[in-house]
């Protein structure tokens, strides 16, 4: 995933970038980086959380009214390497800093092509490739729109990109299918672009709108704004933003995440057939859905699992061993809520099934009479090639197992999955990427890319 933020303001951008990045910390905990322009660029990046990387002194040093900031989530090609942290800085006629959220689906083919042309890439990070292509094209005409057009003609995949260009300003663009989010905010002092609207609320910007699929916006250092649609196809925003990834207080592509999650609960209530005494959420993401689900079926809602808020998200952890250790310190049951009860436990999704199995065991050990597991997301059967680091289909529990086989593996009395129609209704979208559920990838994935990504993921999991 990753979180991106860009600012053009009348004052210094760094402090705003810092607080915006902390608001986007949930989108990536692996690394973070910031680049500001005061004439020339200044940059700092590192591994870990935003508050561990940047000191007050850094924020003072990173002066300038234009800046970009990134929180990084580990993906297929990398496992917590400093050189993969964004921004990437390229020197051409102008120095260009770039960050992005997403994943290129023709990365390996394009890398080979560039290699034949003598372009050396130091990392396997697709933003390095994009920044080099962009800088090369920008050099030809000093025209941002031309450079983005040329870049979009070459790269394929999901990308929401922010680019800071020395002496020019900030450029933002979203891929032709608008798979990853990117939106524009405004206040009396300037503009902000970000992955989620929560950033605008926290920094005092008014949310203006989402960028359209294939749109590019240029905000100059003098705060002049121009935009153009470069290449537009059917929009396929990622359904996982509403189901799991985005903060509940964000609005993505005009749909409030909180409202979508409430509706996921209503949709689940339509298909749940068991008698239960209490509904509990797996904190934190599933809380909103579980609350509405309980209200709709007329059963009391209680907090039955308490999360150690300092243990981090297990899904985002880069390998199985770290994930398993994290689960065991992450959740603790409240015995008075669970003992002798028929418990419906709602989670946002089931990926590998290992966390769900442990939760069922926790609830049984706490004295639950029955455990009915409910997933707010339909079965995840296919890998994601657009920026979410799901495991290979072999590791996905729903990849080759029936619902009853999964229930049995988890040790639950019943297992209810959300329907695909339920997600569409909740997100209020007629077209969305749901490829990890239904296998209908909006963009073709070359076999070579699939193989290399699967191998990279398998390798990363060994670490």
| Structure tokens, 119 | 């372009």
Rounded to a whole number, what is the largest CA-CA distance in the chain?
A: 72
| Structure tokens, 319 | 């390998």
DSSP sequence for 377-410: S----S--SSS-----TTTSTTTT--HHHHHHHH
Please, what is the minimum distance in Å from the beta carbon of residue 377 to ligand SF4? 10
Torsion angles phi and psi, residue 165, rounded to 5: -115, 125
Q: What is d(CA 329, CA 36) in angstroms, rounded to the nearest whole number? A: 39
- Residue 440 neighbours by CB under 8 Å, 6+ apart: 434
Q: For the packed helices 257-271 and 420-427, what is the interaxial angle rounded to 10 degrees? A: 150
Local structure of 122: helix, strand or coil: coil
Please, what is the minimum distance in Å from the beta carbon of residue 424 to ligand SF4? 12
Quick one: which of 45, 35, 37 has its CA closest to 65? 37
Q: What is d(CA 353, CA 412) in angstroms, rounded to the nearest whole number? A: 12
Among residues 262 and 384, whose Cβ is nearest to ligand SF4? 384
Q: What is d(CA 286, CA 265) in angstroms, rounded to the nearest whole number? A: 9
Contact 157, 174 (CB under 8 A): no
Residue given tokens 């709709």 in the structure block: 296
Site of interaction with ligand SF4 (CB under 6 A): 179, 238-240, 384, 386, 388, 433-436
Strand partners, 278: 300, 343
Among residues 395 and 413, whose Cβ is nearest to ligand SF4? 395
Residue given tokens 């023709």 in the structure block: 106
Q: What is d(CA 202, CA 424) in angstroms, rounded to the nearest whole number? A: 29
- Residue 397 neighbours by CB under 8 Å, 6+ apart: 350, 351, 352, 353, 406, 409
Side-chain-facing half-sphere of 434: CA atoms under 13 Å: 18
Among residues 89 and 179, whose Cβ is nearest to ligand SF4? 179
Among residues 252 and 435, whose Cβ is nearest to ligand SF4? 435
Active-site pick, 2, 192, 427, 433: 2
| H-helix segments, 126-229 | 126-141, 144-154, 198-203
Q: What is d(CA 1, CA 25) in angstroms, rounded to the nearest whole number? A: 11
Among residues 279 and 434, whose Cβ is nearest to ligand SF4? 434
2 noted as active-site residue: yes
- Residue 33 neighbours by CB under 8 Å, 6+ apart: 43, 44, 45, 46, 53, 69, 70, 72, 85, 86, 87, 99
Catalytically active residues are 2
């Amino acid at each position: 995933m990753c979180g991106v933020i860009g600012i053009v303001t009348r004052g210094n951008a760094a402090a705003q970038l810092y607080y915006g990045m902390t608001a986007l910390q949930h989108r990536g905990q692996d690394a973070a980086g910031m680049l500001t322009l005061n004439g020339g660029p200044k940059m700092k990046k590192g591994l870990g959380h935003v508050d561990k990387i940047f000191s007050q002194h850094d924020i003072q040093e990173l002066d300038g009214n234009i800046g970009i900031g990134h929180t990084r989530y580990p993906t297929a090609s990398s496992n917590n390497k400093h050189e993969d942290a964004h921004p990437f800085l390229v020197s051409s006629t102008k120095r260009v800093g770039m960050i992005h959220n997403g994943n290129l689906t023709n990365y390996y083919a394009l890398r080979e092509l560039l290699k034949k042309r003598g372009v050396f890439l130091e990392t396997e990070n697709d933003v390095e490739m994009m920044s080099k292509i962009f800088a090369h094209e920008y050099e030809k005409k000093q025209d941002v729109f031309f450079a983005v057009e040329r870049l979009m003609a070459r790269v394929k995949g999901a990308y929401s990109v922010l680019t800071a260009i020395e002496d020019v300003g900030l450029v933002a663009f979203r891929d032709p299918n608008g798979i990853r989010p990117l939106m524009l905010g405004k206040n009396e002092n300037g503009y902000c672009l970000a992955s989620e609207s929560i950033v605008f609320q926290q920094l005092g910007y008014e949310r203006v709108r989402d960028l359209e699929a294939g749109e590019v916006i240029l905000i100059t250092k003098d705060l002049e704004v121009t935009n153009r649609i470069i290449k537009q196809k059917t929009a396929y925003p990622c359904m996982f933003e509403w189901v799991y990834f985005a903060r509940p207080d964000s609005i993505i592509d005009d749909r409030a995440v909180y409202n979508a999650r409430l509706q996921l609960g209503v949709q689940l209530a339509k298909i749940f057939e068991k008698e239960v005494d209490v509904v509990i959420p797996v904190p934190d993401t599933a809380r909103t859905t579980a609350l509405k689900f309980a209200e709709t079926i007329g059963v009391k809602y209680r907090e039955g699992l308490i999360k150690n808020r300092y243990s981090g998200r297990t899904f985002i952890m880069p390998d199985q061993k770290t994930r398993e250790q994290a689960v065991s310190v992450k959740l603790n049951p409240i015995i008075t809520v669970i003992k002798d009860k028929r418990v419906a436990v709602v989670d946002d999704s089931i990926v590998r099934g290992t966390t769900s199995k442990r939760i069922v065991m926790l609830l049984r050990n706490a004295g639950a009479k029955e455990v009915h597991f409910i997933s707010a997301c339909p079965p995840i059967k296919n890998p994601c090639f657009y920026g979410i680091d799901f495991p290979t289909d072999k590791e996905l529990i729903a990849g080759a197992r029936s619902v009853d086989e999964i229930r049995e593996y988890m040790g639950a009395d019943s297992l209810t999955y959300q329907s695909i129609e339920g997600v569409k209704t909740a997100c209020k979208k007629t077209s969305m990427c749901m490829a990890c559920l239904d296998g209908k990838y909006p963009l073709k994935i070359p076999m070579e890319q699939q193989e290399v990504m699967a191998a990279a993921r398998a390798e990363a999991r060994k670490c």
